Chain A
């Protein structure tokens, strides 16, 4: 029954959330991940619950049967989505964009690639700030965003569209502004700053890459399926 849930939940519970707590960003991380996951989650739940074939029909709406198998599939997908969004969110909230971009360039990656990475990193805290502004504006217009979980959820729904659309527009404008400042110019730059890289950071990076290789090998050889 727990197959398909335990893996992502273990990743969230044993690595991502403890790291977020240590970094002091746990609350923001959960909010961001919720915002990032919500639009996809809604469509996943609707499509999975009502269109996935199954033997156990829970209830029927018109021509659509909601099946237990569909609910189980939607649940597994949501947990995986949440694991992915919390991982991306944690990275965005705890990584110094300057260090990240210049380290990528130091490793001879294209500035354009670096910009895509930067835009992704920057989008996370920017999205949180924008969501707070839009939420405050909607609260000023009488929208109830506090109190019960239901009220909070109702308050979050109208934020999703404006937050995501304005983030996309901002990324486009920012890319133009960076191009104006010759960000895409090929060739060597003389950096004004030095990026420290401690032994602990190097160790964690090696361990993370090792875990990725092991997980990939287990998946390719079919041995990951036996694990929870």
Chain B
């Protein structure tokens, strides 16, 4: 379980707190969606939940970050990496620069953990299969499209088999097929007991994938509840977050006098068939 208690954070050199009194729990096997307007503090919350802020980027954190019951205060970043990983939005900055093929790129994380070579290979192949990267696994990591590069970045983290995964807009550069693939990979990770915190503008991805949604605004959590309830809350649109297409379609059907209960999410429809 990943737990933030009364967490407030300010960046080095700034007087203003970007996060204010955040309480957040992500249970094992749970996928929690994080939404909010631009500049709300989503990325900062991701950095704090991953321990990188303040461990690596400095700044001042008050409150506590606890992972699996252990306080993460004063932990070194490589110790944090064995517990929690974070995926950023820009795939180009997540490329190690020291791998000659996609396979090597994905293998780097497990290799850094000091695992024996057969285990590194097993984990790497597993992550490649999960995101269907076999066709590009021999390609140089710099010779990928933005979407492919992001899938490789995600696979690189999956291969480390972390207990907790934070994702900051991981599908920003992906097409709908790539986005669905990432969603499926995350679902499989959760089924294995991994906890996931997913900051995402694409509420369609969160709909049906997340059990819970947290809404952040001006550095504070303003809503935390079941995904169905939060995603249908008119407050989302007021904050500038577009509701998922299921909700918008339901509203349109209702407005036209139809039965909105007939509208289900894409994920639910897929599960039903």
- Residues of A whose CB lies within 8 Å of any CB of B are 96-98, 101-102, 118-119, 121-122, 170, 173-193
Q: Mark B84-110, 1 if CB is under 8 A from A, else 0.
A: 011010101111111110001001110
Contacts known (A181-B112, A181-B156); A186 close to B78, Cβ less than 8 A: yes
Q: What 6 A-B pairs come out closest when comparing CB atoms?
A: A173-B93, A185-B78, A182-B112, A182-B81, A181-B109, A177-B94
Closest B residue to A121 by CB, please name it. Answer: B97
- Residues of B whose CB lies within 8 Å of any CB of A are 50, 52, 56-57, 76-78, 81-82, 85-86, 88, 90, 92-100, 104, 107-109, 111-117, 120-121, 153, 156-157, 160
**Distance between B13 CB and nearest chain A CB, rounded to angstroms:** 14
A184 and B111: CB pair below 8 A?
no
A185 and B112: CB pair below 8 A?
yes
A121 to B98, alpha carbons, bound, how many Å? 10
Of the candidates A179, A183, A187, A190, the one whose C-beta lies within 8 Å of that of B120 is A190
**Distance between B73 CB and nearest chain A CB, rounded to angstroms:** 17
Closest A residue to B86 by CB, please name it. Answer: A180
Closest B residue to A184 by CB, please name it. Answer: B78
Contacts known (A176-B57, A181-B157); A189 close to B85, Cβ less than 8 A: no
A177 and B113: CB pair below 8 A?
no
Of the candidates A182, A184, A185, A193, the one whose C-beta lies within 8 Å of that of B104 is A193
Task: Please give, as numbers and ranges, the residues of chain B lying within 8 Å of A182 by CB-CB distance.
Answer: 78, 81-82, 109, 112-113, 160
Contacts known (A118-B97, A170-B93); A181 close to B85, Cβ less than 8 A: yes
Closest A residue to B166 by CB, please name it. Answer: A180
B98 and A97: CB pair below 8 A?
yes
Besides the contacts A97-B97, A182-B82, what 9 more A-B pairs have beta carbons closer than 8 Å? A121-B97, A175-B56, A177-B88, A180-B81, A180-B86, A181-B81, A182-B112, A185-B81, A192-B121
A180 to B52, alpha carbons, bound, how many Å? 8
Chain A to chain B contacts (Cβ below 8 Å), 11 pairs? A98-B104, A121-B97, A122-B97, A180-B77, A181-B112, A181-B156, A183-B112, A185-B112, A186-B78, A190-B111, A192-B117
B114 and A192: CB pair below 8 A?
no
Of the candidates A98, A185, A186, the one whose C-beta lies within 8 Å of that of B98 is A98
A179 to B75, alpha carbons, bound, how many Å? 13
Task: Please give, as numbers and ranges, the residues of chain B lying within 8 Å of A170 by CB-CB distance.
Answer: 92-93
Task: Please give, as numbers and ranges, the residues of chain A lying within 8 Å of B100 by CB-CB distance.
Answer: 96, 98, 193
**Distance between B16 CB and nearest chain A CB, rounded to angstroms:** 21
B76 and A184: CB pair below 8 A?
yes
Closest B residue to A102 by CB, please name it. Answer: B98
Task: Please give, as numbers and ranges, the residues of chain A lying within 8 Å of B117 by CB-CB distance.
Answer: 190, 192
**Distance between B114 CB and nearest chain A CB, rounded to angstroms:** 5
A102 to B52, alpha carbons, bound, how many Å? 25
Closest B residue to A173 by CB, please name it. Answer: B93
A184 and B114: CB pair below 8 A?
no
Contacts known (A174-B93, A176-B88); A181 close to B108, Cβ less than 8 A: yes
A192 and B104: CB pair below 8 A?
yes
Task: Please give, as numbers and ranges, the residues of chain B lying within 8 Å of A188 by CB-CB distance.
Answer: 114
A116 to B95, alpha carbons, bound, how many Å? 15
Task: Please give, as numbers and ranges, the residues of chain A lying within 8 Å of B82 by CB-CB distance.
Answer: 182, 185
A191 and B81: CB pair below 8 A?
no
Of the candidates B56, B76, B156, the one whose C-beta lies within 8 Å of that of A176 is B56
Task: Please give, as numbers and ranges, the residues of chain A lying within 8 Å of B81 by CB-CB distance.
Answer: 179-182, 185
Contacts known (A181-B108, A190-B114, A190-B120); A173 close to B90, Cβ less than 8 A: yes
Closest B residue to A192 by CB, please name it. Answer: B107
A179 to B116, alpha carbons, bound, how many Å? 20
Of the candidates A122, A176, A189, the one whose C-beta lies within 8 Å of that of B112 is A189
The residue among B57, B77, B82, B88 with the most chain A CB atoms within 10 A of its own CB is B77
A99 to B52, alpha carbons, bound, how many Å? 28
**Distance between A79 CB and nearest chain B CB, rounded to angstroms:** 31
B77 and A184: CB pair below 8 A?
yes
Task: Please give, as numbers and ranges, the residues of chain B lying within 8 Å of A176 by CB-CB distance.
Answer: 52, 56-57, 88
Task: Please give, as numbers and ranges, the residues of chain A lying within 8 Å of B116 by CB-CB distance.
Answer: 190
Closest A residue to B98 by CB, please name it. Answer: A98
Of the candidates B56, B57, B96, the one whose C-beta lies within 8 Å of that of A181 is B96
Task: Please give, as numbers and ranges, the residues of chain B lying within 8 Å of A186 by CB-CB distance.
Answer: 78
A180 and B93: CB pair below 8 A?
no
A193 to B105, alpha carbons, bound, how many Å? 12
Task: Please give, as numbers and ranges, the residues of chain B lying within 8 Å of A183 by CB-CB distance.
Answer: 78, 96, 108, 112
A178 to B99, alpha carbons, bound, how many Å? 12
